[in-house]
Chain A
Amino acid sequence: MFTTGAKLLLGATVASLAGTVAYGVLAEGTMGTIGLVSATVALATLAGIVIFTRDANVFADEPDTFDGAAANAARPGASMWPFALGLAATTMTLGLVTYPAIFILGAILFVAGIAEWILQAWSERASADASHNAEVRSRLAYTAEMPVAAAIGLGIVIYSFSRVMLGVPSKTSTIVAFSIVATIVLIVGAIVGANRSITAPKITALFAVSSVVLIGGGAVSGLNGERDIHEYETTAYFAEKDECGAEKTYADKHASQTVAGKAGSVEVILNPDGRLVHRKPGDEVDRVGAMQLPRSNPNNLLFRNETNEDRRLVIDLAPDYEGSPPRICSMLVEPGGVQWLTVNFAVPSFAPEITEIGGYRFQVPGVDTADLEVVVP
């Protein structure tokens, strides 16, 4: 019998004829009637051609012929990629007049949209079996889509989580919030793990709700902004203000907890008797004489405080051509503690500007006997 195309055209012809009669009788419009008659004739002609040439030979009781007819071919699926490409082009254009990052984002979207569209168009024609085509597309596309989607999803989760953590009013609150969230995740995970009868839809719903809560929380926190985070000044800041004294500064808080990389370093030791001695790698005993250090080299020193009071190590340098601070100091080191100090001697100790200040000397504020000459050849 008639197939879809013939039915469509015949139906349109009948509708057009009915419309022509109705319009001609009721409206009596000459031009409209002529137009509708023309449309009816055209549709009838097309219907006749379709029926006469091929469509009319296809019968529902001839499955092979019916299935192989062009009119029975599977229609292309709906595609969102033209829309994505349009969005990408708009984003790129926007990026050209605003920020490069937006242009790059649009370009990435554009390339991805082109690739996906090509892949979809190709897979839909891979065979006559739509399910097979879908599987082919999935096998190819998932190798790229899954890692990218996972990375984007993970990025969103991490970013949302970080916004929440930075938005919590205090550092202590952050620790509490993190602990609570971690505990909840642990408990839920244990329940899910122990409950073998839990279904996939329930797990999916759980993840969906968690994601919405997390992303929503991140969005709210992000809009509210980060809490006020105090910036820790370093000893270089205090050295610039000439505050390398015996008193404690904010930079000295938890000073000895920042020491790392102790191996292979020169040690400068403040003895209990208030004298500065030094020990280099390979030395078997502490040395009391002048310490020789190479020039134009970041010398890493460890200051070890063996007295009963908090102490820091200071040394005056010659102002270099870049105007670096002439005095540098370690952080305040508690009794028995160790702190790191990097010193770069730009000029030798025999240079006039150094001899004028009495040479390079390590000293300890508040301890007059602590004085160690440094020779820079």
Chain B
Amino acid sequence: MNGHTNHDRTIWVGSHDAHTLDAVSAVNPRRRRRIPGIAAAVGAAIALSACATDAPQDTWQPAGENAQKIHDLQWPVFLTAGIVGVLVFGLLAVTVLRFRDKGQSMPEQTHGKPVIEYLFIAIPAVILAAIAIPTVGVVMALADTDDTECVINVTGQQWWWEYDYEVEDDGTICGFAPTAAEAAPIVTSGQLVIPADTKVLLRGTSRDVIHSYWIPRLNGKRDMVPGRVHYLRLSSETPGIYAGQCTEFCGLSHANMRMETIVLEPDHFQQWLDNELEPYTSPEEGTLAAAGESTFITQCSRCHQVNGLVDDRGTDDPDDDTLVVSYPDQFVYSGAAPNLTNLMGRNTFAGATFDLLTDECRADVWEADPEVFGERYLAGVTEDCLNEIELREWLRNSPAKKPMYADAEMLTETDGKTRGMPYLALSEDQIDELIAYLLERK
């Protein structure tokens, strides 16, 4: 019976393979010759991508305590997984090549090899246990917040991050007492500024949908769920910029929801803190920036807060000045818009999607050595370094610059509120005024 079956099978397989190979050879022999080359090129491209140096979101270049813990764990795990993968696929390849059907007779069929079966259970179990023990240890260590030195609230919304710095009971912020002004909550966005060598606890939530906070070089990711508070430890000894990306799909502009963490030496952080708490100063009267302040009040302040801004138009009596308070919850679905008090103290805008610095100035900051990084960052955005092109484009038509469902007429389900900055139909003169005004916000 076996002989008969083998005989039939041999004839069928042989003839089938021959037909298939002949067909391929006849149809496209050149393509067949290209396959190994293409496979080698794709493999090389994948392998060489690991050599990239300009990779700001590389988990293999840890720069923080918790990121280092993750890195120390992932090395042995990946190594183990790699060895297992090579062994499995190697054995599979040997089996396929060596024992493929060449017309030989059917080997003797047996059933049951207890020793092999026990080994196939025991070996994976030992490997998994060996990986699980340090993994659980690292997971527990990452959740540790006992020795927090600085608390910062993080709130995600479509599609940017807001940071507000808590004033501690002793009147300090992150352990730093303001030099001149009284301590008050600092609200900023896009760039999170933290002091070096400080254990920072991010206390995060979301205003609309689930977002996920991830600065790969400083720690793992953490989902931010509306109605809940989640925490994430960040710390780094090395001053610099650490880039991140929202890692939970959160809508149309999810890919444009970026963030950067700025690590400053303590002295530089003190300077940053004092600068943030400086009282508001109006532009000099008669200047383009002064006109921009008026334009800002009429066009922007209903959503964007600038702390200390007062509306003194139409009155000479200082007692009649009205503090300008934004009410973004009436216009924006998430209920918030970035606080622009010290916009030009940051390097980015629109959810860290666009640079406020020109490429050259940006490179000066990003590529600065840790020793000089703080000074360059604190210089903020100067007139020479302003990336005016993109800022102007943004003010001219922000929905065209970043997809945001910003057309209120299309949003019946949000009661007319936009998801992001809508088109404001600003004139070129108004844009000039606003840029001049914003340039002084640092």
| A contacts, CB < 8 Å to B | 261, 263-266, 280-282, 284, 287-290, 292, 294-298, 300, 320-321, 342, 346-348, 350-352, 375, 377
Contacts and interface: CB of A to CB of B under 8 A. Distances in A.
A281 B204 CA distance: 10
A281 B231 contact: yes
A293 B164 CA distance: 9
A287 B305 CA distance: 28
A347 B325 contact: yes
Interface stretch (B16-24, B57-65, B147-155, B264-272): B147-155
B284 interface: no
Contacts of B151: 280, 282
A377 B336 CA distance: 12
Interface in B225-272: 225-231
Contact of A297 (B155, B167, B327): B155
Contact of A377 (B187, B225, B229): B187
Contacts of A288: 169
Q: Top 6 closest A-B pairs, CB basis?
A: A296-B335, A377-B185, A289-B169, A264-B228, A282-B231, A296-B329
B229 to A, nearest CB: 5
Interface string B311-336: 00000000000110101111000111
Given A292-B164, A348-B325, A351-B325, A281 B169 contact: no
Contact of A296 (B166, B207, B225, B322): B207
B155 A294 contact: yes
15 contacts: A265-B229, A280-B229, A281-B229, A281-B230, A282-B201, A289-B168, A294-B155, A294-B164, A300-B227, A300-B228, A346-B329, A347-B325, A348-B305, A377-B184, A377-B186
Contacts of B433: none
B166 A292 contact: yes
Nearest to A281: B229
A289 B168 CA distance: 8
A198 B164 CA distance: 74
B145 interface: yes
B162 interface: yes
B205 interface: yes
B322 to A, nearest CB: 8
Given A348-B305, A375-B185, A264 B167 contact: no
Nearest to A342: B227
B203 interface: yes
A321 B330 contact: yes
Q: State the majority secondary structure of interface residues on A.
A: loop
B325 A296 contact: no
A267 B201 CA distance: 18
Nearest to B202: A282
Given A263-B228, A298-B227, A352-B325, 16 more contacts: A261-B227, A265-B228, A281-B229, A281-B230, A287-B169, A292-B166, A292-B185, A296-B335, A297-B207, A297-B335, A342-B227, A347-B325, A352-B323, A375-B167, A375-B185, A377-B164
A282 B203 contact: yes
B238 to A, nearest CB: 24
A281 B207 CA distance: 18
A287 B169 CA distance: 7
A294 B189 CA distance: 13
Contact of B146 (A264, A284, A297, A375): A284
A282 to B, nearest CB: 4
A280 B203 contact: yes
Nearest to B328: A296
A297 B185 contact: no
A287 to B, nearest CB: 6
A288 B169 CA distance: 7
A264 B229 CA distance: 5
Interface in B141-179: 145-146, 148, 151, 153, 155, 162, 164, 166-169
A280 B151 CA distance: 10
Nearest to A280: B203
A266 B229 contact: yes
B155 to A, nearest CB: 5
A142 B196 CA distance: 71
Nearest to A321: B330
A282 B151 CA distance: 9
A296 B169 contact: no
A294 B153 contact: yes
Nearest to A322: B330
A281 B327 contact: no
Among B155, B186, B229, the one with the most A-chain Cβ atoms within 10 Å of its Cβ is B229
A330 to B, nearest CB: 16
A284 B169 CA distance: 14
A142 B355 CA distance: 65
A276 to B, nearest CB: 14
Interface string B192-215: 000000000101010100000000
Contacts of B162: 294
B141 to A, nearest CB: 15
Contacts of B328: 296
A296 B305 contact: no
Among A280, A296, A346, A350, the one with the most B-chain Cβ atoms within 10 Å of its Cβ is A296
B365 to A, nearest CB: 27
A351 B169 CA distance: 23
B163 to A, nearest CB: 10
Contacts of A281: 203, 229-231
A300 B227 CA distance: 6
Nearest to A353: B325
Contact of B145 (A264, A282, A297, A377): A282
Contacts of A261: 227
A109 B388 CA distance: 66
B232 to A, nearest CB: 9
A297 B323 contact: no
Contacts of A300: 227-228
B301 to A, nearest CB: 13
A351 B184 CA distance: 15
A296 to B, nearest CB: 3
Nearest to A345: B329
A292 B146 contact: no
B167 A351 contact: no
B434 to A, nearest CB: 23
Given A281-B229, A284-B146, A375-B185, A321 B327 contact: yes
B182 to A, nearest CB: 13
Contacts of A266: 229
Contacts of B155: 294, 297
A375 B226 CA distance: 20
Contacts of B227: 261, 298, 300, 342
